[in-house]
Structure 1
């Protein structure tokens, strides 16, 4: 049982981590090259997430420094009550205990997600993908060095070198206490964890995000938001589906302009029956594709009758992540935002902002599409549970 580390020690470890990441920058990038060379998969978004370059190391350093500057999320008073009998009652935030992070490909998770969980007073278990093993082990080595140099036990951060069978066995019957599991990765990984885990899991769901171009849209804004939403195909906040209001003035001209723009950036454009009939794009053969998160240079455009129909469509097919209405009509935007059931809803802004750093949280452990206990980006202040502190002098009931 690890006793909660003081906030001073936690911050010192994070700052030491920043120093070590800078010192070992070249070594990390070179070790990552061996992971990249060994990756034989076809998944372009996986390759993109696997890669560590100078920019990624800068981001890792920035994230641990920022975490060190944030207030302690543990022990924050949320409620207090003075009982008639004189007892003083407080409810305060508390750490979960041990957090297991299971993730694919991204070595930066080994710094950023582990850092958030560590700052909130948790022991960290990391289970990364085999494709990033060498990069991850190098970074865990730095965690251990930072912990030891600041007088803390190295077992605050532990890397589990498990294959799929061993991982399944651990999820079903953990050989040590696990209080929370956070899977970071594709739908298959999340489904696997959900199926086998015996403790709470934070579901960071699929993206499959929609942009609705309302009949009163500013069309330049619509183009900008769609192109920006497709600028990073490996991100869960990327845009996959566009719904165009059938009552949009000069609709065909706008759709042509949009298709031209998308094709210029090598994005494959698919269309529903209406769009493919009037424009040179491939027609979809089944409505099931509306459920699919692409994580690829691919987008689907459809026509829709109204705001109400759009809300129904998004609530049926989206991953519960992010959705956008482009309109100059604030009333219509309000109806859309109140009724669309996604973790983040946008009016005239890009889905690419669904991110802990961009939404003011500093960073994020995951983006939850569950409704308990926190939805959307899970920042430092959300990676806590709570407990009741009751002070008495002999009260009995």
Structure 2
């Protein structure tokens, strides 16, 4: 096990990494262009995640700077108790040890997730997808440069250039100790990791997020929030897939028509339940199974409910446990909705696109967990720790 690096050393590496990313900006972009050229798939969302442009590099640099300025998440006292026999008992946060991150097509994860794991005192094993190999190797070389310049072993950040068979073999019989695995990607990747891993896995699960437009909604806000949730970035887990409209909303059919028109301006394929299809002329859904689907595409389903209870029940049945938003002026009702809906993030009058570590003030995230153990929602620096008990005695025996 690697001995814990001092916070000064960890911060120095992060600060240096920010400088190197700026210095190597042009080279990172040109290497990424090779990955883009080599990518032959037809997955629009994956292609979008693969691209590294100036805005993405700016984000990488900012995340390194923010991480370097944050307080050390390791060694924070969480509980203190003095036993009647005089023993002093303290619980403090501790690093996991080694964290493995498995991800697809996102070179920015090589920077941000790597940085969060490193800042929280952990060794990182990065297992990226083959589509982003060149970009990832370039970024890992910068990690190694930042470590070497601070006289720290490069094995703190390791890239696992494995194919599927090699990855499975490593998960089932790791050649080194792994304390935690975080898969970031589609349902197949998550299922594969959970099936083969021999240590704890935090699932960064699917989205399939809902917006519920209540009878007391501000209709203009509802439209703006839905357009934002669906169209700003289709390839992310906080994008919007489903809309429920309360039929008690005055002239709900007018809203459904307006929404359909606006969404179609962005080339979104709109499907409706029977009532919405009848009111708007959009294609009706073929069966109820579609309510379970996460689209990661220009596609949305709009349906109706007759009560708040029905909306809550439908969301709890079909959503991915990620994010759900209610659009209403009734605060008491919103509170009830937010307490009853079983999602990691629940909103009143805001877009689900905000479910993100940076937006929540965490300074970035390793992943967004739809599990309930050990952390739910965006996993920031302060969540990437386990804990440890320290007991100070003077010869006490039981």
Distance 2:352 2:113 in 1: 21
Match of 1:259 in 2: 260
Equivalence for 2:281:
280
Shift of 1:254: 1.1
Partner of 2:319: 318
Q: Tell me what 1:82 maps to.
A: 82
Measured after TM superposition, the shift of residue 278 of structure 1 is: 2.1
Q: For 1:123 and 1:254, how far apart are their aligned partners in 2?
A: 51
Where structure 1 has 5 or more consecutive residues not aligned to the other structure, the ranges are: none
Aligned to 2:309: 308
Q: CA deviation at 1:195?
A: 1.1
- TM-score, length of structure 2 as denominator length: 0.99
Alpha-carbon distance in 2 for matches of 1:74, 1:251: 52
State how far apart, in whole Å, the 2-side matches of 1:378 and 1:109 are: 13
Q: Secondary structure at the match of 2:236?
A: coil
The yes-or-no answer on 1:347 pairing with 2:348 is yes
Instruction: Work out whether residues 210 and 315 of structure 2, in 8 Å CA contact, stay in contact via their aligned partners in 1.
Output: yes
The alpha carbon displacement at 1:251 in A equals 1.1
Give CA deviations for 1:256-277 in whole Å, capped at 9, x if unaligned.
1110000011111001111112
Alignment of 1:61-210 (within 5 A): 61-210=61-210
Q: Bigger CA drift: 96-105 or 165-174?
A: 165-174
- Tell me the secondary structure at the aligned position of residue 108 of structure 1: helix
Establish whether residue 228 from structure 1 lines up as the match of residue 228 from structure 2.
yes
Provide the rounded CA distance (Å) in 2 between the counterparts of 1:308 and 1:327: 15
* Corresponding residue pairs, total: 397
Q: Any runs of at least 4 consecutive aligned residues in structure 1 with deviations exceeding 3 A, and if so which?
A: none
Deviation at 1:334, TM superposition (A): 1.4
User: Secondary structure of 2:360's match?
Assistant: coil
- Is the deviation greater in 273-282 or in 139-148? 273-282
For residue 328 of structure 1, what is the aligned residue in structure 2? Answer: 329
Which SS does the other structure have where 1:74 is aligned? coil
Query: What are the superposed Cα offsets for residues 59-94 of structure 1, whole Å, 9 maximum, x if unpaired?
Result: 000000100000000000001111122211110000
Q: Which residue of 2 is the match for residue 357 of structure 1?
A: 358
Unaligned runs of 5+ in 2: none
Q: How far apart are the structure 1 equivalents of 2:155 and 2:296?
A: 36
TM-score (norm 1): 0.99
Paired residues for 1:21-32 under 5 Å: 21-32=21-32
Answer yes or no: is the 8 Å Cα contact 2:257–2:279 preserved in 1: no
